[in-house]
Structure 1
Amino acid sequence: MSETLPALPALPVMPALPVLLVLCAGVVAGMLNSVGGGGTFVALPALVAAGLAPVTANAASTIALVPGAVASAWVYRREITPLGPASTKALTALSVLGGALGAVLVLLLPSASFEAAVPWLLAFATLVLAFGRRLATRLGEALGRPLGMSGRAVLIGQFVLALYGGYFGGAVGIMMFALWSVGLGLDTSTGNPMRVAQLAAVYLSATVLFLFASDALDTPLILAAMLTGAVAGGFTGAHVARRLPERVLRGTILTIAVTMTVLYFVRG
Structure 2
Amino acid sequence: MIDWTFIALAAAGGFVGGAMNALAGGGSFATMPTLIALGLPSTIANATSNVALQPAAMASAWAYRHGLGPVMGVTMRRIAAITFGGALMGSLLLFLTPPRAFDVIVPWLLLTATMAIAAGPRAAIWLARIAQPGPRALMTAQGLLGIYGGYFGGGIGMMLTAAWGLLSGRSPAQLAAPRTLMLATANAAATLVFIATGMVAWAQCLPMLAGGIVGGWSGALIGRRLPVGIIRGWTLLLTLVTTLVFFWRGYFA
Q: TM-score, normalised by structure 1?
A: 0.85
1:167 to 132, 148, 151: 151
Offset from partner CA, 1:66-117 (integer Å, 9 cap, x none): 0000000010001112211322211100111111111111222325435423
1:78 is aligned to: 66
Q: Which amino acid aligns with 2:189?
A: S
Asked if 1:116 corresponds to 2:127, the answer is: no
Mark the runs of 5 or more structure 2 residues left unpaired by the alignment.
none
Where does 1:112-191 land on structure 2 (aligned, <5 Å)?
A: 112-138=100-126, 140-141=128-129, 143=130, 147-191=131-175
Q: Say yes or no: does 1:94 pair with 2:94.
A: no
Residue identity in the other structure for 2:13: A
Q: Is the 8 A contact 1:126 1:178 kept in 2?
A: no
**Residue 250 of structure 1 corresponds to which residue in structure 2?**
232
Structure 2 partner of 1:104: 92
Counterparts in 2 of 1:58 and 1:190: CA distance versus 1, 3 Å: same
Q: Could you tell me how far 1:46 is from its partner in structure 2?
A: 1.5
Q: Which residue pairs with 2:198 in the alignment?
A: 214
Counterpart of 1:197?
181
Alignment of 1:15-30 (within 5 A): 15-30=3-18
Could you tell me whether the CA contact under 8 Å between 1:174 and 1:257 is conserved in 2? no
Q: Once superposed, which parts of structure 1, at least 4 consecutive aligned residues long, lie more than 6 Å away?
A: none
Cα deviation code 1:147-181 (max 9, x no counterpart): 34221111111111111111111111111111112
- Structure number having the greater helix percentage: 2
Structure 2 residue identity aligned to 1:106: L
**Corresponding letter in the other structure for 2:108:** W
Letter paired with 1:249? I
The SS at the match of 1:51 is: coil
- Equivalent-residue separation in structure 2 for 1:220 and 1:114 (angstroms): 21
Aligned to 1:59: 47
Matched letter for residue 213 of structure 1: T
Displacement after TM superposition at 1:244 (Å): 1.9
Alpha-carbon deviations, 1:178-211, whole Å to 9, x = none? Answer: 1112111121101111111000000011111212
> Which letter does structure 2 place at the counterpart of 1:81?
G
Identity percentage of aligned residues: 35
Shift of 1:138: 4.0
Distance 2:123 2:50 in 1: 34
1 CA distance for matches of 2:100 and 2:226?
38
Equivalents in 1 of 2:34, 2:198: separation in Å? 18
Specify whether residues 256 and 85 from structure 1 end up closer, same or farther in structure 2 by C-alpha distance, changes over 3 A only: farther
Range 253-262 or range 203-212, more displaced: 253-262
Instruction: Mark the CA change 1:108 to 1:258 in structure 2 (over 3 Å): closer, same or farther.
Output: closer
Distance in 2, Cα, partners of 1:250 & 1:77: 21
Q: Are 1:128 and 1:182, in contact at CA under 8 Å, matched by a contact in 2?
A: no
Q: Structure 1: 5+ residue runs without aligned partners? A: 1-12
Instruction: Tell me how large the CA RMSD over aligned residues is.
Output: 2.0
CA contact (8 A) 2:42 2:99 kept: no
Paired residues in the alignment total 250
Contact 1:189 1:249 in 2 (8 A): no
Give the 3-state SS of the residue equivalent to 2:67 in structure 1. Answer: coil
